[in-house]
């Protein structure tokens, strides 16, 4: 099983073809169908691509990702292929164009193997909100893989492809990475073009990778990042060489007191984070416990603003323009109502209603405007921390992966995001890297957040932390 691009490259150097690497992954996907990770395998286009890449390797003109086999979260467009955001409402819809991030991978000779299950429209923390059934955690099929990019996480953990793409609006890459023992990165807002990513909350959404090594994540972001004429929010900020390794000197790291003191954190996770802190101190880094008394505002602010944006973004799915249309409907109004009621699942409907409410004339100021103001305060206060610190360190998740069907009320599910929504509210880049193994046998991650566009520093410090990963219990 080839888990990293380094292993893929070694195999290629010793004569293995990309076609046979692909075949091995296809077999593994077959053998792991119980995980429900893939919604569709793009067998014929992947084989075609693999053959082309083999040809290029022979001719000595292959790209930087030659032979890397990549799965896409089912909210990324790939021309001529189905995309559904794991929703019934997009039934039968085929992408008319390819997302910029995906195109850049293909241009460097990656092979796109299929589309991966996720929570419907990326709304969820357990991948139980898919219209196509829940995804299982590769490390224990009775546990959730996290969400919303659960298929992407579990596929990497199970070695069903070399890497995957996910999207992170409030933690959907980092939380499943923590639950599956993989690496997950949410880049700075605007680092990677969102063109071709089905929008959930446009001012929060970012595309990012899941991998089995830091190097693969750095390389993928390097390839995907940069300006794009199709996305005005894609930054023109210089793209650094994230994949080149530099050992950082002594750094100053802020640890948010309230995160480690919060009620829901598993004591073993807390202990492991503290152990990591001690190890960093011993290496000469400065750790400061800072107070950031806004933790309780994060999740509510996130849900006011993201549901508002979702209610607007999802209004295009009306039973006329895309995918599913109710057979039972007569007339325009009824077509809208029935198609949307039948096409969207319960969580998506809940969020559209919540978002419509917070944007309604009578409540706009009380909720939406207030939410925007709180977001600004969170951004200002976070910038203040970064004036004086290189990074912020915190747990990725309060617990390890939980049982399927265990978390049933929406508020408890929303609180899964307690540590991850921060980076989306403020736009900062953040990574979850595997930290340790709980006495229950499951992995968990640690989260490092950096100032805007400091992905290079983030990777370099993460490389250093990685050597300090602890195994508690």
Is 73 one of the annotated active-site residues of the chain? Answer: yes
In 3-state terms, the chain is what percent helix, strand and coil (to 5)? 45, 15, 40
Q: Is residue 124 near ligand GLN by the rule CB under 6 A?
A: yes
Which residue sits closest to ligand GLN, CB atoms considered?
A: 172
Q: Are the CB atoms for 396 and 276 separated by under 8 Å?
A: no
Q: Is residue 313 near ligand GLN by the rule CB under 6 A?
A: no
Q: Is residue 168 near ligand GLN by the rule CB under 6 A?
A: yes
Residue from the set 105, 122, 253, 394 that interacts with ligand GLN by CB under 6 A: 122
Q: Is residue 120 near ligand GLN by the rule CB under 6 A?
A: no
Q: Is residue 395 near ligand GLN by the rule CB under 6 A?
A: no
Interface of this chain with ligand GLN, residues 60 to 79, rule: CB under 6 A: none
Min CB(101)–ligand GLN separation in Å: 16
Q: Is residue 397 near ligand GLN by the rule CB under 6 A?
A: no
Is 172 one of the annotated active-site residues of the chain? Answer: yes
Phi (first) and psi of residue 190, to 5 degrees: 95, -5
* Helical ranges in 283-405 per DSSP H: 295-313, 332-343, 346-358, 364, 370-388
Q: Is residue 253 near ligand GLN by the rule CB under 6 A?
A: no
Residue from the set 114, 145, 151, 170 that interacts with ligand GLN by CB under 6 A: 170
3-state DSSP call for residue 198?
coil
Among residues 87, 95, 130, 148, the one annotated as catalytic is 148
User: Environment class of residue 44 by beta-carbon count within 10 Å: exposed (0-12), middle (13-18) or buried (19+)?
Assistant: exposed
Residue from the set 114, 134, 151, 171 that interacts with ligand GLN by CB under 6 A: 171
Angle at 284 between CA 279 and CA 285, to 5 degrees: 80
Residue from the set 128, 222, 390, 417 that interacts with ligand GLN by CB under 6 A: 417
Reference 119, options 157, 187, 164, 166; nearest CA is 166
Return all residues near 146 (Cβ < 8 A) that are at least 6 apart. 125, 126, 127, 137, 153, 175, 176, 177, 178, 179, 180, 397, 401, 416
**Which of these ranges, 8-16, 38-46, 121-129, 292-300, lies near ligand GLN under the rule CB under 6 A?**
121-129
* End-to-end Cα spacing for the chain: 28
And the tokens for 35? 């995980």
**Quick one: DSSP state of residue 121?**
G
Q: Is residue 169 near ligand GLN by the rule CB under 6 A?
A: yes
Nearer CB in complex with ligand GLN: 171/343: 171
Per CB under 6 A, residues contacting ligand GLN are 122-125, 147-148, 167-172, 200, 306, 417
Point out the residues that are catalytic: 73, 148, 172
């Amino acid at each position: 099983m080839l888990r990293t691009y380094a292993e893929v490259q070694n195999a290629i150097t010793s004569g293995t073809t990309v076609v046979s690497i692909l075949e091995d992954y296809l077999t593994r996907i077959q053998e792991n169908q119980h995980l429900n990770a893939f919604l569709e395998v793009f067998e014929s286009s992947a084989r075609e691509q693999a053959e082309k890449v083999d040809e290029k390797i022979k001719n000595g003109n292959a790209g930087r990702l030659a032979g890397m086999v990549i799965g896409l979260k089912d909210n990324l467009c790939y021309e001529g292929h189905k995309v559904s955001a794991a929703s019934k409402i997009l039934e039968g819809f085929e992408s008319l164009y390819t997302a910029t991030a995906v195109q850049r991978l293909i241009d460097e000779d990656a092979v796109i193997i299929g589309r991966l299950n996720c929570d419907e429209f990326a709304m969820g923390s357990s991948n139980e909100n898919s219209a196509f059934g829940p995804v299982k955690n590769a490390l224990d099929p009775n546990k959730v893989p996290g969400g919303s990019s659960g298929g992407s996480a579990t596929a990497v953990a199970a070695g069903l492809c070399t890497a995957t793409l996910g999207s992170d609006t409030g933690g959907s890459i980092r939380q499943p990475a923590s639950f599956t023992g993989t690496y997950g990165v949410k880049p700075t807002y605007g680092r990677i073009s969102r063109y071709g990513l089905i929008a959930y909350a446009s001012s929060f959404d970012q595309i990012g990778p899941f991998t089995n090594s830091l190097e693969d994540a750095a390389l993928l972001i390097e390839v995907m990042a940069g300006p794009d004429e199709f996305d005005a929010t894609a930054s023109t900020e210089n793209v650094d060489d994230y994949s080149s390794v530099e050992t950082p000197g002594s750094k100053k790291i802020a640890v948010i007191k309230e995160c480690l003191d919060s009620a829901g954190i598993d004591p073993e996770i807390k202990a492991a984070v503290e152990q990591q802190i001690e190890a960093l101190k011993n290496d000469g880094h400065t750790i400061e416990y800072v107070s950031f008394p806004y933790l309780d505002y994060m999740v509510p602010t996130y849900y006011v603003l993201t549901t508002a944006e979702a209610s607007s973004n999802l209004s295009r799915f009306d039973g006329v323009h895309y995918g599913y249309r109710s057979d039972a409907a007569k007339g325009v109004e009824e077509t809208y109502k029935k198609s949307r009621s039948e096409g969207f699942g319960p969580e998506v409907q809940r969020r559209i209603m919540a978002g419509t409410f917070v944007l309604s004339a009578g409540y706009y100021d009380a909720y939406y405007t207030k939410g925007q103001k709180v977001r600004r305060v969170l951004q200002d206060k976070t910038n203040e921390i970064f004036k004086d610190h290189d990074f912020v360190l915190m747990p990725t998740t309060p617990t390890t992966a939980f049982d399927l069907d265990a978390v049933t009320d929406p508020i408890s599910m929303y609180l899964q995001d307690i540590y991850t929504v921060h980076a989306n509210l403020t736009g900062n880049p953040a990574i979850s890297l595997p930290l340790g193994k709980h006495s229950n046998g499951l992995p968990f991650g640690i989260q490092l957040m950096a100032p805007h566009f400091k992905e290079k520093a983030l990777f370099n410090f993460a490389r250093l932390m990685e050597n300090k990963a602890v195994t508690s219990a």
